[in-house]
Structure 1
Amino acid sequence: MTTDVNAAFVKEKTDQIEAVHEEARRFQERIDRGEVEPIGEDRYRVLTGWDAGETFRVQRDTDGRIAQILGQHGLDTTTGQAALYSTVPTWHGLGTVIPGGTTDIDEVLRLARLDWQVRKVPALYEWEGEIRHHDDRFHTVREDTGRALGAVGRDYTVFQNRRVFEFLQDLTNSFDLVWESAGALRDGRRTFVTVRIPQSIVIDRGGLNDEILLYLAAINSHDGTRQSEWVVTPWRIQCGNTERFATRDAVHRWGIRHTSGALDRLNEARRALGLTLDYAKAFEREENQLVRTELLIDQFHDLVSGLWPLKEDASDLEIASSTRRHDLLDGMFREEAKKLGRTLYTAERTITDYLDHRLKVVPRNLTEDLARAQRALEGTHDDLKSKAHHRLLLLSR
């Protein structure tokens, strides 16, 4: 069994597009089952499955019935065409597809419409007919279109697309990698490039044969809201949704802030990412160790209690919340065990799925979307995932 989330995503999108009428009939059923939720103005968000977190909108006919369902690709189209290069066709049918790909970064930048520069310019405002400069505030602007991308501070340093992506060229030369995809999102505020790691991870060879395809993605930001980062992920980025999934499901990440001198650390990043293949091998060994070890339901409950311990003076509300979490995780584990068996590997998959897709975010001063994005960026639950992984490894020994 090969786990290729990209193929699953493309198939799902293609099926949606080709079966609009059937999808419209089932649409309300998905809402009723809690798989899709409305977020306003005929826009919806998927809550379960491969494309959890994806947003889309519907077009309705004059009678108010659903006539078409449109995925939100989020690609930059300010130059008249979608800014995307890919080695395989995309679900949305946009971009330049080069079967077999290329190994030349300049060709990738040209085909992906990323061969433009960004400049930082002073922020100005008008006061009583006079144009004044707002001290310590600047805008990042695309030089090819003049479009403002974001408001930044004096210390913000622009990272040009080529500079962020070019050090991956060494890896493509050393490991015979091919640029899989590249493009720009949200008018150029976010840019990305993806290469596939040739060695996949196979969990339980001869048994589950769960093969995980891995990609190495470099993601740049020009709007001042995010750092530049490099992630090892099962997703090939081809749109705004898959860019979000790539960071959400990253198994390894490395990032730098947009500050002066930060790009000097690219050599450090190159060394870290050059170890990716070794990291993948070690990860495969550990996961196979987990898949070969059985786990009792009581042991799974002990794991959950250890990850989310209750204080002795816990309130009734905290106790009730803990009980609901235990019940949900128990059900998820039992369901997953029907496919994978009651193993440590199943327990890890259950915990990861809960943290990534089921855990409710209750922000104090942010919308839920922003809170989830901030949680993914800051790796809020990485410590819990790591703790669960290490505790399960101890059980396997």
Structure 2
Amino acid sequence: MGTDVNDAFTQEKTSQIEAVQEEARAFQGRIDRGEIAPIGDDRYRVLTGWDEGETFTVRRNTEGRIWQILAQHGLDTTTGGAALYTSTPAWHGLGAVIPGGITEIDEVLKLARIDWEVSKRPVLYEWDDGLRAAADHYVTVRRDSGDALGAVGGRYEVFQNRRVFEFLQELVHRHDAVWESADALRGGRKVFVTMRIPQPIVIDRGGLDDEITLYLAAINSHDGTSQAESIVTPWRIACGNTERFATRDAVHRWGIRHTKGGLSNLEEARRTLGLTLAYAKSFEAEENELVRAELLLDDFHALVDSLWPVDEDANGRARTFAQNRHDELDGMFREQFRNLGRTAYAAERTITDFLDHRARVVPRSLSEDLARAQRSLEGTNDDLKSKAHRQLLLHAR
């Protein structure tokens, strides 16, 4: 069976925290091995694994020994509890958990504590013992708590949570989808809902049975830093870290700007997202083509050379670097085809794994591992992955 990234994330997070709590030396060992890196004030960032990019805080006793790990889930707690609904318990154990999920958006908003609204108020300043309004400067404010969420301009339009999310309700009824999770992050500055696409993608059914579950996530923001958007992703959003991973690994995205008339695009978004099931079937068909296509070792080497061409006038150091990369990819491919067969699918998995976890970077100011984590979060390698997929698909056909 394939790997569910959400289960893998939960398992790795749990074992990670337990291991560090059991022995402080194990924690230091992870730093020495480049698995985590300090970022100041007893805070650390994970550099490898399913939760690459995650941050957490370490608490120490008076003797300096680690006694508690606090993962940074980022959930809003303005109303006194974690603003989260989920159908599956998250690694942090917070929020309202409804096994099997629910199907009504109003219930989702209430359980996730995101049924509040936002207003736009003018920015005021003191002058001669009075208050004046700053022209074209506003602040977005939560109506339930009065908390300021962000500074915006006059053209910025507030999108209420229910208005942005309710357009997905039709997909719930039409395709028997289930609301998987909903939450608010960073005091309500960002709000999310996710639903599971009913039919998973299965690669090589009856053979490898590599299963991929996809989710639709709708994201609303209230701080003026980003547009509202919907994405198709393998991640179920249940904290600040899975939010980053969901947007990083999105395979489709759609968005609207917070401007007057922006919400008129919701009908087009509904139509576009309604095509997601067709997209999933198309993606499944392509991956199955790769599974059935034999790929010789020489063909794999040619793919590597096309992805990382070496200039004719490259110096000796560059050629040595390229040869080392070539040899590493060769070894990874040989390992993959022991499990997946000598196929185009094994080649694609090799390229993806190399780009995500092995490829060297040449950072200007960050450590190599930290630069790799930043590159992964920014999707720097997406073009290479897409190019490899297209070339392997052409080979398969």
User: Shared fold (TM-score greater than 0.5)?
Assistant: yes
Alignment of 1:126-145 (within 5 A): 126=126, 131-145=131-145
Tell me what 1:94 maps to: 94
SS in 1 for 2:192: strand
Whether contact under 8 Å (1:194, 1:217) holds in the other structure is yes
Deviation of 1:294 (Å):
3.1
Query: Residue 113 and residue 357 in structure 1: after superposition, are their counterparts in 2 closer, same or farther (change >3 A)?
Result: farther
Tell me what 1:32 maps to: 32
Instruction: State the distance in 2 between where 1:326 and 1:22 align.
Output: 40
Instruction: State the distance in 2 between where 1:122 and 1:376 align.
Output: 39
- Asked if 1:149 is matched to 2:144, the reply is no
Whether contact under 8 Å (1:86, 1:238) holds in the other structure is yes
Name which of structure 1's ranges 64-73 and 328-337 shifts more when overlaid on structure 2: 328-337
Whether contact under 8 Å (2:244, 2:377) holds in the other structure is no
Tell me what 2:352 maps to: 352
Whether contact under 8 Å (1:56, 1:71) holds in the other structure is yes
Query: Residue 174 and residue 313 in structure 1: after superposition, are their counterparts in 2 closer, same or farther (change >3 A)?
Result: same
Unaligned 5+ segments in structure 1 are none
Instruction: State the distance in 1 between where 2:116 and 2:364 align.
Output: 39
SS in 1 for 2:122: strand
Whether contact under 8 Å (1:3, 1:211) holds in the other structure is yes
Instruction: State the distance in 2 between where 1:128 and 1:312 align.
Output: 72
- Asked if 1:387 is matched to 2:387, the reply is yes
Tell me what 1:211 maps to: 211
Name which of structure 1's ranges 313-322 and 44-53 shifts more when overlaid on structure 2: 313-322
Cα root mean square deviation, aligned: 3.1
Deviation of 1:114 (Å):
0.5
Tell me what 1:235 maps to: 235
Instruction: State the distance in 2 between where 1:127 and 1:327 align.
Output: 70
Query: Residue 124 and residue 114 in structure 1: after superposition, are their counterparts in 2 closer, same or farther (change >3 A)?
Result: same
Name which of structure 1's ranges 38-47 and 70-79 shifts more when overlaid on structure 2: 38-47
Deviation of 1:75 (Å):
0.2
Instruction: State the distance in 1 between where 2:161 and 2:346 align.
Output: 40
Instruction: State the distance in 2 between where 1:76 and 1:216 align.
Output: 22
Query: Residue 65 and residue 365 in structure 1: after superposition, are their counterparts in 2 closer, same or farther (change >3 A)?
Result: closer
Number of aligned residue pairs: give it: 397
In structure 1, give the amino acid aligned to 2:256. Answer: I
Tell me what 1:108 maps to: 108
Query: Residue 318 and residue 18 in structure 1: after superposition, are their counterparts in 2 closer, same or farther (change >3 A)?
Result: closer
Tell me what 2:278 maps to: 278
Instruction: State the distance in 2 between where 1:377 and 1:119 align.
Output: 32
SS in 2 for 1:81: coil
Deviation of 1:380 (Å):
5.3
Instruction: State the distance in 2 between where 1:365 and 1:131 align.
Output: 45
Deviations 1:170-197 (A, max 9, x none): 0000011111110100000111001111
Deviation of 1:73 (Å):
0.6
Deviation of 1:393 (Å):
0.3
Deviations 1:351-375 (A, max 9, x none): 3344455567778899999999997
In structure 1, give the amino acid aligned to 2:55. Answer: T
Whether contact under 8 Å (1:216, 1:233) holds in the other structure is yes
The TM-score normalised by the length of structure 2 is 0.89
Instruction: State the distance in 1 between where 2:367 and 2:135 align.
Output: 30
Tell me what 1:396 maps to: 396
SS in 2 for 1:3: coil
Whether contact under 8 Å (1:52, 1:357) holds in the other structure is no
Deviations 1:208-262 (A, max 9, x none): 2111111111111111112222111111111111111111112222222222222
Instruction: State the distance in 1 between where 2:288 and 2:160 align.
Output: 41
Deviations 1:324-365 (A, max 9, x none): 654554454445445434432222223334445556777889
Tell me what 2:183 maps to: 183
In structure 1, give the amino acid aligned to 2:95. Answer: G
Deviation of 1:284 (Å):
0.7
Deviations 1:62-109 (A, max 9, x none): 111111222111100111110001112221111111122221111110
Deviation of 1:18 (Å):
4.6
Tell me what 2:162 maps to: 162
Deviation of 1:267 (Å):
1.1
Name which of structure 1's ranges 180-189 and 57-66 shifts more when overlaid on structure 2: 57-66
Alignment of 1:1-397 (within 5 A): 1-22=1-22, 24-126=24-126, 131-312=131-312, 322=322, 325-326=325-326, 329-330=329-330, 332-356=332-356, 381-397=381-397
SS in 2 for 1:300: helix
SS in 2 for 1:351: helix
Deviation of 1:319 (Å):
5.6
Deviations 1:112-134 (A, max 9, x none): 01011111222233456554433
Instruction: State the distance in 1 between where 2:372 and 2:165 align.
Output: 27
Query: Residue 334 and residue 139 in structure 1: after superposition, are their counterparts in 2 closer, same or farther (change >3 A)?
Result: farther
Whether contact under 8 Å (1:6, 1:235) holds in the other structure is yes
Instruction: State the distance in 1 between where 2:56 and 2:63 align.
Output: 21
Query: Residue 380 and residue 12 in structure 1: after superposition, are their counterparts in 2 closer, same or farther (change >3 A)?
Result: closer
